[in-house]
């Protein structure tokens, strides 16, 4: 067979098969297959990502935290918690102080209201003291019984008296009506009580009116 006939039948003149037009040589297909990646990437890429693909959620959650990560986390979340805690403590302390002031003010206002009602009766108590000094409050008499009831009522309201003979004179508690020179007196003391002083709790109704003993030399 001539060379021309061999070409027409797809044979090489030396006996080798000639590839058809548009088809690639066997060596060329292998080269292209090795060079071009598949639809999901090359085998090398799959191999490099196999280590990460093998991690599970438990592996990630159970991984040991580094010191830098722990410090960053504490720095990011600790400060706001400390701020809110300190703010809560401040508000709690302010509320406790406010409650104490409110309770204290309520007690004082109650005492002032009672004092306003009791103050006009102090002159009645003064008359009872004078009557007692003169011996007019004889036990068993109607006058003595009335005096006892009045004084008992004042005691239930919390009325207190102050100003006794022999006390050291205190201008905050005593009103000096008179000064009596007494030889050997080194310190001013209450020589006589003209009218008792009265207080109700922390509210002072009036000072005690007293005569004060002073030194004879002035």
CA dist., res. 180 & res. 218, Å (int) = 10
* pLDDT average, residue stretch 134-139: 89
* Residues in the chain, total: 218
Residue 58: inside a domain: no
Whether pLDDT at 148 is above 90: yes
Per-residue model confidence (pLDDT) at position 34: 43
Whether pLDDT at 26 is above 50: no
CA dist., res. 175 & res. 130, Å (int) = 19
Domain of 123, in residue numbers: 119-215
Per-residue model confidence (pLDDT) at position 63: 59
- Digit-coded pLDDT (tens) for 83-106: 788 888 889 999 999 999 998 889
CA dist., res. 115 & res. 109, Å (int) = 10
Q: Smallest Cα–Cα separation from 190: which of 171, 217, 216?
A: 171
Residue 163: inside a domain: yes
- Digit-coded pLDDT (tens) for 196-214: 999 998 899 999 999 999 9
Residue 173: inside a domain: yes
- Digit-coded pLDDT (tens) for 34-65: 444 444 444 444 444 444 556 565 665 555 65
Residue 68: inside a domain: no
Residue 75: inside a domain: no
Task: Report if pTM > 0.75.
Answer: no
Residue 71: inside a domain: no
The model's confidence at residue 174, banded by pLDDT at 50, 70 and 90, is very high
Measured between its terminal Cα atoms, the distance across the chain in Å is 168
Give the residue, 113 or 74, on which the prediction is more confident.
Answer: 113
Report the CATH number at residue 128.
2.30.22.10
Residue 185: inside a domain: yes
Domain count, the chain: 1
Residue 153: inside a domain: yes
Q: What angle do CA 209, 213, 214 make, to 5 degrees?
A: 125
């Amino acid at each position: 067979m001539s060379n021309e006939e061999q070409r027409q039948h797809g044979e090489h003149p030396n006996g080798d098969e000639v590839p058809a037009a548009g088809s690639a040589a066997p060596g060329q297909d292998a080269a292209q297959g090795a060079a071009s990646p598949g639809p999901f990437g090359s085998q090398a890429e799959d191999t490099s990502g196999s280590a990460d693909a093998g991690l599970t959620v438990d592996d990630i959650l159970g991984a040991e935290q580094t010191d830098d990560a722990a410090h960053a986390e504490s720095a990011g979340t600790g400060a706001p918690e400390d701020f809110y805690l300190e703010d809560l403590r401040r508000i709690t302390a302010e509320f406790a102080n406010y409650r104490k002031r409110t309770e204290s003010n309520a007690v004082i206002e109650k005492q002032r209201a009672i004092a306003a009602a009791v103050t006009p009766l102090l002159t009645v108590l003064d008359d009872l003291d004078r009557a007692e000094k003169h011996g007019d409050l004889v036990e068993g008499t109607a006058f003595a019984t009335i005096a006892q009831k009045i004084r008992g009522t004042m005691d239930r309201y919390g009325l207190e008296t102050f100003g006794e003979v022999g006390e050291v004179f205190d201008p905050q508690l005593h009103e000096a009506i008179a000064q009596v020179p007494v030889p050997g007196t080194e310190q001013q003391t209450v020589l006589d009580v003209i009218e008792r002083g009265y207080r109700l709790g922390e509210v002072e109704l009036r000072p005690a009116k007293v005569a004060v003993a002073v030194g004879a030399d002035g």
